[in-house]
Amino acid sequence: MQIPADTVSLRDYEYRFHEKVDPAIRAYIAGAAADAVTQRENGAAFERIRLMPRALVDMSKASARSELFGETLEYPILIAPTAYHKLVHPDGELATVQGASLTRTWMTVSTQASVTLEDIANASTAPLWFQLYVQPRREHTLSLVRRAEQAGYKAIVVTIDAPVSGIRNAEQRAAFRLPGDVRAVNLAAFPSTGPVSASLGSPVFRGMLDHAPTWGDIAWLCHQTALPVLVKGLLNPADVKPALDAGVSGIVVSNHGGRTLDTVPATIDLLPAITSAVGGAVPILLDGGVRRGTDIVKAIAFGASAVLVGQPVLHALAVGGMPGVVHMLTLLQTELEVAMALLGRPTLQDIDASLLLRPGGV
């Protein structure tokens, strides 16, 4: 795969992705819930925020490095968990993790990866986190956690905003089905739950939600592992206290990229309230709509320790393979450094709400 010469931003990779990829696969990866209101708003909310630069600041010791859970984070950018990378590249997550390693980027590996979590770990030279969907049976959930521990993963990220799948009309219209050679290999040993019978009288409330996790399950999980447990998909500040009471070590502010419930707010709009509710008790990360280095600055200014990017990774993998992932992540790292330089903020600790232009003026 050769990266087109005019591909110089994450949006360029997205355009090329739409040109290149099979329509059904494109509908699955790019598809949003319902009318895509939230997916569009994730990006639009970042665009509405304005930045105030400072001039002639000494940047001689500038660095985007920080520390998170005792590990050095070279840039505040992580790869978000996304499923089935083999849909867009034959090497799947192996190509992604190689690109992540070359750019010193931490990767969050999906429960629904199309390569085993062990094989991904063996190919990585950068820290890995494991994204967990709580399974109907606790012994199966614990089995995944133990595998991640044994493979050297550094944290468990529990998705809490998708007890059922969102209504994705674009995916339905395209009649997307997983190809026979792409599957969630990490779940292969577990029995399928099978379809819910229509005779039960409800397509969702009876059957599909019988084993949906609660805060009690998160508290149980936090007691089962010494790894940091983060919850991903927290949007409402009212959920901060239950999360902290359950013992979580971190929070990822996320709306699943607009793929579950449509018309919920953009994540960057909710970040300040969640930061306030957390009160510094645990690190906060954010995903949803991050496409520029300036987006990262805005998230950090509102209280995030780092951001995660998901769809852009699959766009780059589809367009340029492993080199595409390297190039895309390098673009984002470079844009962040340029933004910090032009804003006069030498370190991440120097990025705060004072660089945000308030409505109505300075």
User: Using 50, 70 and 90 to split pLDDT, how confident is the model at 207?
Assistant: low
User: Using 50, 70 and 90 to split pLDDT, how confident is the model at 318?
Assistant: very high
- Calculate the alpha carbon distances from 275 to 129, 251, 267, 268, 334 in Å: 22, 10, 12, 11, 27
Where residue 289 falls (left for φ over 0; alpha for ψ -120 to 50; beta otherwise) is: left
* pLDDT computed for residue 195 by the predictor: 46
The tens digit of pLDDT for each residue in 271-310 reads 999 999 999 999 999 999 999 999 999 999 999 999 999 9
CA–CA separation, 120 vs 222, rounded Å? Answer: 24
What's the topology of domain 10-188+213-355? TIM Barrel (3.20.20)
Q: Active site residue: 85, 89, 256, 327, which one?
A: 256
Closest CA to 85 of 316, 345, 273, 342: 316
CA–CA separation, 176 vs 164, rounded Å? Answer: 18
User: Using 50, 70 and 90 to split pLDDT, how confident is the model at 200?
Assistant: low
Q: Catalytic annotation on 256?
A: yes
- Calculate the alpha carbon distances from 347 to 62, 238, 335, 355 in Å: 6, 32, 14, 13
DSSP assignment of 237-296 equals GGGHHHHHHHT-SEEEE--GGGTSSTTPPPHHHHHHHHHHHHTTSS-EEEESS--SHHHH
Closest CA to 113 of 98, 141, 91, 137: 91
* pLDDT computed for residue 211 by the predictor: 80
* pLDDT computed for residue 198 by the predictor: 43
The number of C-alpha atoms within 13 Å of 138 and in the hemisphere containing its C-beta is 11
* pLDDT computed for residue 206 by the predictor: 63
Partners of residue 157 on adjacent β-strands: 131, 230
